[in-house]
Amino acid sequence: MTNQPNRPANERAHASRRRFIKTTSGLVAAGAAVSPTHGWSDEPADGSTRVLIIVGPSSHPPGTHEVEAGGRLMKHALEQMENLSGIQADVVEGWPDQSLRDAASTVVFIGDLFPPNRLPNPQQNLADLDEMMQRGVGIACIHYATGLLGEDVTSDGDHPLLRWMGGYFANRSCPHHESFARVFPEATITPAETDHPVTRGWKEFTLRDEPYFNNYFGTEGNQLAPKATVLATSMLPPEAPKGETVAWCIEREDTGRGFGVVMPHYYKNWRDEDLRRLILNGIVWSAKVEVPAEGVKTKSPNLADFNPKSV
């Protein structure tokens, strides 16, 4: 991510479709024949929990963000967890149709900036999403999908995402606040001192990545809302370090749950078991599924299987 406005969504609305590839979970549709409202999904078994993964536009270079491959990787990981079953994931590029929205227990966004605001018909997208949130559906945003532009928010920074997820990355075009994006050669991510289920099973880790800092959490001194929880912190920036929140969650009044995490920038960092467990724990928790005591366990993925532009 570079802290600058994304190029117009319509330039990416009909991204190139990719061939089918094989993975250990079977046939993975690597964006093949994906329309703006239909993507890669399977018929669920009765009683399964549905996770809806929405892939937004991205203009980042190969090896960074890799949002299409990241969406496919998350689907594979959620459906192939070693210690938790019964989760079915659907991946769409563009806005999903009513049937997918109705079936979802949680919706996961990956893309450059918050996809509902970048895809065509943003006001209708937000209205559809609001209906889901009022039903108690969860929401999770990965890396730059946590981000909003100045044109997306009011002068004091209000946006529904603040309530749905508890916070967001405020692009420098925002009038009220500026979050920061820098690649750090060694960023150490530390679990917060909490017994929250999302912190189960992963330990402190260090990696080269771009954990956003000075993220925005509201008008009350930029403090998290009462029902929001810090999940992970990092001492940033190195030249003037202070504890920065890089993953958080919220339990909403509508009974839904929100989860935000500001990594990974580099696609290769999906290999990191602790980062991957943090993210998958957050998605599972947002779907109101009990996170195993040891956290979600998955095998290390072969990143090339998910057809990135570059690993």
Region 27-47 average pLDDT: 40
Residue 82 has pLDDT above 70, yes or no: yes
Question: Which residues, in sequence order, are CB contacts of 295 under 8 Å at separation 6+?
Answer: 200, 201, 202, 277, 280, 281
Q: What percent of the chain has pLDDT over 70?
A: 85
Q: Domains of the chain: which residue ranges?
A: 9-306
Residues in the chain: 311
Q: Give the single-character DSSP code of 265.
A: S
Q: What is the pLDDT of residue 177?
A: 97
Residue 31 has pLDDT above 90, yes or no: no
Q: Report the C-alpha gap between 130 and 123 in whole angstroms.
A: 10
What is the chain's Cα-based Rg? 18
Q: Which two tokens stand for residue 256?
A: 């839904």
Q: Whole-model pTM above 0.75?
A: yes
Is 117:126 a contact under the CB 8 Å cutoff? yes
**Torsion sign over Cα 17, 19, 24, 25:** positive
**Torsion sign over Cα 105, 100, 43, 26:** negative
- CATH number for 9-306 (one of 3.40.50.300, 3.40.50.10540, 3.40.50.880, 3.30.1330.60): it is 3.40.50.880
Q: What percent of the chain has pLDDT over 90?
A: 84
Q: 264 preceded by cis ω (within 30°)?
A: yes
Q: What is the pLDDT of residue 48?
A: 84
Q: How confident is the model at residue 21 (pLDDT cuts 50, 70, 90)?
A: very low
Task: Give residue-wise pLDDT tens across range 123-156.
Answer: 999 999 999 999 999 999 999 999 999 999 999 9
